[in-house]
Amino acid sequence: MSLKKISMITVLAAAQVSTVVPVSAQSSAALQQPSTVLEQPAALQEADGNNPKIGETAPEAANSAQPEPNVEQAETLESSPEADAVQPSQTSEIKAIPEENSADDMPPTSSSGPAASLNKESNELVLLMNRAEMYHNSKLYTAAQPMAVKSGVSYISIRAIVERAGLMLRYDNATKETIIYKDGNELRFTMNSTVYKVNGEARSMKGPAYTYKGTFMVPLTSITQALGIRYVVNQPEKKVILDLSSLSGSAPVNPGEGASGGEPANPSTPPVETVPGLVLLMNSAQMYHNGTSYTAAKPMAVKQGVSYVAVRSLVDRVGFSLRYDSSTKETVIMRGSDEIRFKTNSSVYTVNGVRTTMKGPAYQDSRTFMVPLTSITQALDIPYQVDQQNKRVILSLSTKPIASFTVTNPKVYVGQTVVNYKTSAYSPSGLPIVSEYWDGREDVFYEPGIHTVSYSVQDSSGEWSDPYTINIEVLVPNEPPAALFTTNKEEYRMGELITYTDQSTDEENAIVSREWDNNAKAFFTPGPVKVRLKVTDRHGAVDTYEKTIVITGETLYTREEFYQLYAAVGEKFFIDGARVPSLPVLPLESSFESRTLIRSNSPETVTREGVVYREVGVGATRFMIHHKNASGKVMKMYVVATNLNSTPASLNTQHVGFGGPSEYPNATGKLSVERYFQSMQSGSSNQTSILQPGESRLILTEINALPIKDQQVVSLFADLFTDSPIRYDVIMIEEKENALSKFPFLPLLAADGIHNRGTYANSTRILESHELIGQSEARIAIGDKNLDPFLTGYDGITGYPISNSGNFGMVYHIKLNRVAPNTLISFNPRGGKYMGSVMVNGSMVNVPSTSWLSAPHDSSVLFRTGEYEQPVEIWFTAAPGSSLPVNILVTPMPQKRN
């Protein structure tokens, strides 16, 4: 359905209506203009709107800081599959079109000014993107609201376009509709509706109409289509030009319809021979370049809704060069130093190496290379107009040279950065660039803030480019941090606690590291002592502060006394380890909990696939697994549980701690113990599964989650409970093998004769004291064979009897029910290096907190009692990879002295 014909000259005054006109229909002159600048629009886009142009990267997302409505990706208008060629409502993208507010005469402009391309003999409305100004037949108007983009749809104030088109606008209070009148015809829009009416016929819009700050906003294309307004998107000059002369003497054309009666759709349309630029005729091989007729190798075609052109025919007219790269099988368009590369049957092309997606793939048609039209117009920044009524696309081929540049420095600082400008310039006509002009350029900037730099070039014909402008943010150079610390005194006795207070500052509060040198809590030799602090900020700037304190010849505490009082929990400190064996042994009651230990630790170093341990367990069971891969291959370790019974079996996993894979055995063992105790605290590993008769299943899957590289170690502690006998196989196989299908055929590997494997009963030992302890020194020996006997058991594969050397896998639950006030409980290794974790009164303590302890003189704090007697509960198991035996020391702390 078309609107009725209107006269050549339409001058309608705004109607006075008897109903109350809402804000949306009021004069835009009364509306407040927002100060926020909308996002820079992207070029006309083939697919998702993110195709870059030559010399540019892909457009960024809209600025989220802008006020509502949020500015998003502009509406992309693609060609319809049903159309013969590109349709105006489907191939043009329009962004940020403002609403008028007031009028002024347009000031004179240069050829590069915002309205330079305005045809003064026509009726044109020029909308400037990202600006509030608009020009109507050379007159300047200021918008109250810029165009907005919501959910990919471009919206414009309905009054902005209607007043400039000379139409009438009113509000129907009965139907709640905003109405545009045109010679007795009407367009009706409803708030929050995606449907509008043309003389009662409902049509769909791409988004709903809405009101923003009192301005009624509608999709731009709903008006241009219904009123038959042609428009051009000029992306290089950032403007949209609406041809309002099409409103005179012609009726609007419904989308997809042509003009009736075989007459031209618009009698005022100039003949193709007089149209400047390159005119492509839809469904035809004929084209006109500045009025001269040319014939393309193939007609302009539409495939699956995408408009294609013959690339050579188009490039020849544009004035660029074309070649074929046989090494990459790509067709290459060259423009100066820039290049665009296409490949047959690919939907991706590259612009100076940047990959860009097209809506459809390039293809060959009888040896003619066809590409989507908009892939070229976007990359080459060619503005074009879709004249659907006359079935043609008009490309504006400017003869101006094009200038651009980038600043390659990531940041520019005042007085420091030598700015690196990288320029790019070319002539669309292929003329050489003979001159350039800079405005605002400095090699080094000496004032902070935003500096605007423009670059222009001139070709050999004397024509200058439009200025290309970049705003450069010049930053104040980073000031390094200031290191500073104080001490609570300037002079100290030997063994006196020193308090350091870090007072370092940074103007950005961005100190990322502090490195102390010689900041001991106390010193034990007299003389001056230098203490240093180095601080580093996030920029890498460094400052160091040094202070000298004096240590007198007077002693407040000995070294051992001092650390008994002041060492932090987990901190390592020195003791006289030679006297530890002579300390009395703390009398403890010993009992056990019934739990079977399955220790798989031999061969500790596994050189080939196989079963490293096999055992049948029932009831409460504990696993301690510790192995190293030395096969030269990437392996995995598994625990397979098999139900050998004729009835289903229940398997409850209670606690699990896994460490590795890692090249460091002691660190791996420590981590497995720490996670085991954490699992006891949290109960996070608790789960139950049912094994059907004869079923084999992978359990404790933490151990097989990661592949084990050559020379890496894994370590695992776990507690289980089953209601029926279950056979367990601990296996190591190549990473890509299937464990369940391979384990029945694996060989049983022999023990290495050095490390231990075996099955041991009663693997939780309870040590308990009911007497008051801590009034004198005493020790608890663990893993020494004499005071702490080793468990005895058997090898589950060979059946031979064996002793659990070191009692690895044994869990010690130590209950000290009465510990005297001011008592220190510490950890002292006796067999070599040790690093592990201990749970004390429900808290994890790493022994030590950093590095490791060395026998016999290193010790680490486990716990201190306060001013009152209290119970202490300790959970301990030896960390695989560390050395036993160890002692837990109970020591009365020295009295504090002034």
Question: Hey, CA dihedral for 56, 380, 424, 441, is it positive or negative?
Answer: negative
Percent of the chain with pLDDT over 70: 82
Question: Residue 224 — pLDDT band, cuts 50, 70, 90?
Answer: confident
Q: Which of 772, 765, 768, 770 is nearest to 788 (CA)?
A: 765
Beta-carbon contacts of 313 under 8 Å, excluding residues fewer than 6 positions away, are 287, 294, 296, 297, 298
The residues pairing with 547 across neighbouring beta strands, listed in sequence order, are 531
Residue 805's pLDDT is 92
Q: What is the pLDDT of residues 784-793, one digit of tens each?
A: 999 999 999 9
Which band of pLDDT confidence, cut at 50, 70 and 90, is reported for residue 246? low
DSSP code at position 603: S
Q: What span, in angstroms and rounded, lies between the C-alpha atoms of 307 and 87?
A: 10
What is the pLDDT confidence band of residue 23, given thresholds at 50, 70 and 90?
A: very low
Low-confidence winner among 354-358, 511-515, 881-885 (lowest mean pLDDT): 354-358
Burial of residue 731 (CB within 10 Å: 0-12, 13-18, 19+) is: buried
Residue 121: the pLDDT is 52
819-866 per-position pLDDT tens digit: 999 999 999 999 999 999 999 999 999 999 999 999 999 999 999 999
Query: Does residue 233 or residue 425 have the better pLDDT?
Result: 425
Taking CA atoms, 720 is separated from 274, 655, 687, 688, 703, in Å, by 90, 7, 10, 10, 15
- Label residue 390 exposed, middle or buried (CB < 10 Å: 0-12, 13-18, 19+): buried
Q: What's the pLDDT at 777?
A: 96
The answer on pLDDT for 274 being more than 70 is no
Q: Rounded to whole angstroms, how far apart are CA atoms 211 and 203?
A: 20
In DSSP notation, 742-782 reads HGGGPPBPPP-SSS--EEES--EEEEEEEEEE-SS-EEEEE
407 pLDDT higher than 90:
yes
Higher pLDDT, 747 or 477: 747
Query: Is the predicted pLDDT of residue 266 greater than 90, yes or no?
Result: no
pTM equals 0.54
Residue 375: per-residue pLDDT: 87
Query: Which token pair is 816?
Result: 């000290």
Give, to the nearest 10 degrees, the angle between helix 158-165 and helix 220-227.
Answer: 30
- DSSP codes, 276-341: -SEEEEBT-SEEEETTEEEE-SS-BEEETTEEEEEHHHHHHHHT-EEEEETTTTEEEEEETTEEEE
What was the pLDDT predicted at 38? 25
Higher-scoring residue by pLDDT: 558, 134? 558
Angle at 287 between CA 285 and CA 292, to 5 degrees: 140
CA distances from 185 to 2, 12, 255 (A): 9, 13, 17
Mean residue pLDDT across the chain: 82
pLDDT score of 502? 96
Question: Average of pLDDT values for 79-91?
Answer: 31
Worst-scoring range by mean pLDDT, 100-114, 592-606, 884-898? 100-114
Q: Residue 49: what pLDDT? A: 36
Six token digits for residue 498? 């020193």
Q: Tell me what the mean pLDDT of segment 370-374 comes to.
A: 91
Residue 14 bridge partners (DSSP): none
Q: How do residues 382-398 score in pLDDT, each as one tens digit?
A: 888 888 778 888 887 77
Please, which pLDDT band fits residue 30 given cuts at 50, 70 and 90?
A: very low
pLDDT score at 263: 34
CB neighbourhood size of 288 (10 A): 22
Return the higher-pLDDT residue of 128 and 522.
522
Of 100-109, 163-172, 371-380, 819-828, the poorest mean pLDDT is in 100-109
Distance CA 555, CA 566 (A): 16
| 306 bridge partner residues | 303
Is the separation of the CB atoms in 598 and 886 below 8 Å? no
Q: Which two tokens stand for residue 824?
A: 């220190």
Which pLDDT band, with edges at 50, 70 and 90, does 217 fall under? confident
Q: How far apart are CA 387 and CA 38, in angstroms?
A: 28
| 135 or 575: which leads in pLDDT | 575
Nearest to 335 by CA among 352, 355, 310, 312: 352
Say whether pLDDT at 24 is over 60.
no
